[in-house]
Amino acid sequence: MPSSSTDLRRFPQVYVVEASAGSGKTYALAKRYVSLLLGSRPQPAETLLRNILAITFSNKATREMKERILDFLKRIALDSFSSPEQKKEIFSGLPADEASVRAEASSALEAIIGRYNYFQVQTIDSFINAILSGCAFRLGLSASFKIKTDDRPYLAYSLDALIDRAAGDKETASLFKTFLRQYLFLENKTGWFPKKDMLELITGLHGQMNYFGGDFLEAQAGLKQVQTLRRAVLTKVRQVEELAVPQTHAAFQKSLRSFLERHDEHFDLGDLSDYFRREEFPVTKDASVPARLAKLWQRLRAGLQALAEQESASLFDPYIAILREVLKDFAQLSSREDVLFLAELNRQARLLFEEGAVTVPELYYRLAARLRHFLIDEFQDTSRLQWRNLFLMVEEALATGGSLFYVGDKKQAIYRFRGGEVALFDAVKTKFRSFNLIEETLQRNYRSEKAIVDFTNRVFSPENLNRFLDEHGDPKGGIRFDEGETQEILGVFRSGLQTHDPRRRAGRVVVRRLEVKTREERDAAVRPTLVPLVGELASRFSYGGVAILTRKNDEVALLTEWLLAAGIPVESEKTLNIKNNAAIKELVSFLRFLNSPIDDLSFASFIIGDILSKATGVPKDDFHDFVFRARLKSEKRRGAYLYREFRRSFPQIWDDYFEGFFRGVGFVPLYELVTSVLGKLRCPQNFPG
């Protein structure tokens, strides 16, 4: 941070902060914001608020940053700090006159309370939406256009309209004929309803257009060229089998023979064995390969590469052609309904800037603010499209004495599928190097205990990463890393080593590797290990202090079931969603039964659940046995509805569970609400027969 005598608005500055997990990223952003707001400011607080834009990537991060900024301002204004060290840290970078700074902090708080809309800490989507709202007429939209998140129904409607037009338009019909030929012969797919696959792909392509901000180019590689290459590859595969020497790897010979028996012309590259990835013909150890066979193997591998490139180039051509026509209807429909989709925001903004529809001064006029200082969070996940939309404003700010402050962690770049590009982190730094660039790395981890920090340092150390890359460079044709790629990967993690907070000296890390091959084996190994471990941790920590991470949502559901079965309280997406609550499901089944008493399935799902068993004291197994016997009886005679059999088998429960059940299990708030509905249970006229 600059010294206390530095005027932050007089000198252009570019601050680049690399911050690993737990190192105070939000703290650094908030401190920078407060420094801009209070440091040597000749302007009113309201004006300065409108000059500063802080961009985050989630609503949660926005709330956290606002809370931290307001907390800093309150501590400064009230001179209320947790320690002298905290006060010294927060005041670093601010003018030395504490009384003046406290007065300015109070003024800033009043300005934020009075003009909260000037407090511009927001997600990048919110900011782009504000830009588009100010320039809506340029996009053919009204100033009150609606933002929607799901474009799939609009794409589906537009695709249906295009299919309808194919009946009377030869060019449109030709698009679908080309698609069907590829669908059958190149993709080797069958089925009566290819429209589902078509919609899935054009929806994905539309998303990629929006994330990367460009239009697709067709490769113009036709189906005939692909089929010609396929036949050439098959010919060479047959020649390889004929020339194979006795020392050929036995498993390769078997897979080669099987492949040729199953394929005469149409095949997928995925049908080929991994042996074809090897640079050398696969033979047993120390065996030699005849020169003719070696040359043929190289020609075959070159043919496979050409086929793969041609297939990948031509695969999307029919979909792109169809998407191009679908988007015409899509645009008309969106304009007619005055909607814009969330994924489109950045692409539409790019059109405004790059086609010269709006200049930076005009944009500021429409925003009723002029931005001088930009703070960007999670910069490693920023896409080139998002950066292009910000670039002109950032460049103008730097040229007129403003600043750019961005923070992130390159090894946490996880949004590549949405256009995020970690290379931007260093590219922007290089671009603005002439603007008094300041770089900083936050290395102290304030969140984790010492053992965890030490463990992650070992994992991301250059020695361990080099070992990992060496082990995964498959000499038999797998992934290979050259020196440049290795250095690029190591560069991403170079600033990742951390020091621990001296106050956090404990912690424990244990890694247990399970050698399993199937999901069933995994579950059988994990359950008896995980459940007792959580129980053991609960003897030393609260359940709320234990977190379990999985790779997939269905694994969350599975672990939740295991823990609940063991009597361990769990909070997860499965348990927090009221629709997944077992008691709610049983009550819904009961209400469905009341609505239609002949609904045996709903009645059965209610009586074999937990609620009725707990209310009556009857084991659930008794109700399970009853349902089984009643099912057999219903197959023998008509009209044997389940509720009738239940009334005969459990007359006391039938008469008493209305009041005894709801009061017995403690659903007292529900009692008054459902009494009138449950009262119908005693009215025979409401039941058939």
Per-residue confidence (pLDDT) for residue 539, from 0 to 100:
86
Confidence label for 221 from pLDDT (cuts 50, 70 and 90):
low
Q: Decide: 133 and 141 in contact? Cβ < 8 Å.
A: no
Name the band, by pLDDT with cuts 50, 70 and 90, for residue 677.
very low
Q: What is d(CA 583, CA 576) in angstroms, rounded to the nearest whole number? A: 13
Give the residue among 346, 439, 437, 433 at the shortest CA–CA distance from 390: 346
Contact yes or no for 301/276 (Cβ under 8 A): yes
Q: Is the pLDDT of residue 600 over 70?
A: yes
Residue 115 has pLDDT above 70, yes or no: yes
Sorting pLDDT into bands at 50, 70 and 90, what band is 455? very high
Inter-residue contact 14 to 439 (CB < 8 Å): no
Please measure the distance between the N-terminal and C-terminal CA atoms of the chain and give it in whole angstroms.
83
Question: Residue 486 and residue 490: Cα distance in Å, rounded?
Answer: 6
Q: Is 33 exposed, middle or buried (0-12, 13-18, 19+ CB in 10 A)?
A: buried
**Tokens matching residue 555:** 């694994």
436: left (phi over 0), alpha (psi -120 to 50) or beta: left
pLDDT at 658: 45
| Rounded to 5°, angle at Cα 416 from 411 and 420 | 85
Angle at 631 between CA 630 and CA 634, to 5 degrees: 85
Once rounded to an integer, what is the mean pLDDT over residues 65-91? 92
Categorize the per-residue pLDDT at 403 as very low, low, confident or very high, splitting at 50, 70 and 90.
very high
Alpha-carbon distance 646 to 272, whole Å? 60
Report the pLDDT value the prediction gives residue 67, as an integer from 0 to 100: 95
- Tens of pLDDT along 463-483? 998 888 877 665 554 566 778
pLDDT (0 to 100) of residue 676 = 38
Instruction: Summarize the confidence of residues 425-436 as an average pLDDT.
Output: 90
pLDDT at 71 over 90: yes
Classify residue 462 by burial, with Cβ atoms within 10 Å: 0-12, 13-18, 19+.
exposed
**pTM (global) more than 0.75:** no
> Is the pLDDT reported for residue 497 higher than 70?
yes
Nearest CA-CA partner of 324 in 158, 148, 149: 158
Q: Taking all residues of the chain, what is their mean pLDDT, rounded to a whole number? A: 83
Q: Compute the distance between CA of residue 484 and CA of residue 457 in angstroms, rounded to an integer.
A: 23
Per-residue pLDDT tens over the stretch 155-196: 999 999 999 999 999 999 999 988 888 787 767 776 667 888
Mean pLDDT over 485-514 rounds to: 86
Which residues contact residue 156 at a Cβ distance below 8 angstroms, ignoring those fewer than 6 apart? 199
Exposed (0-12), middle (13-18) or buried (19+): which is 583, by Cβ within 10 Å? middle
Residue type, 656: D
pLDDT at res. 393: 92
Predicted pLDDT of residue 575: 66
Listed as own residue / partner, the contacts of 432-438 with beta carbons closer than 8 Å and 24 or more positions apart are 432/14, 432/398, 432/404, 433/14, 435/12, 435/13, 435/14, 435/398, 435/404, 436/11, 436/12, 436/13, 436/14, 437/14, 437/16, 438/13, 438/14, 438/15, 438/16
Position 661 scores a pLDDT of 41
Task: For residue 147, give Cα distances in angstroms to 84, 138, 626.
Answer: 48, 16, 53
pLDDT at 688: 36
Residue 539, φ and ψ in degrees, nearest 5: -75, -15
Per-residue pLDDT tens digits for 104-113: 999 999 999 9
Give dist(CA 444, CA 17) in Å, integer: 13
User: Model confidence over 292-342: pLDDT tens digits?
Assistant: 888 999 999 898 888 888 877 777 888 899 999 999 999 999 989 989 898
Q: Which has more pLDDT, 268 or 410?
A: 410
| Mean of pLDDT values over 51-71 | 93
The residues near 245 (Cβ < 8 Å, ≥ 6 apart) are: 283, 287, 289, 290, 293
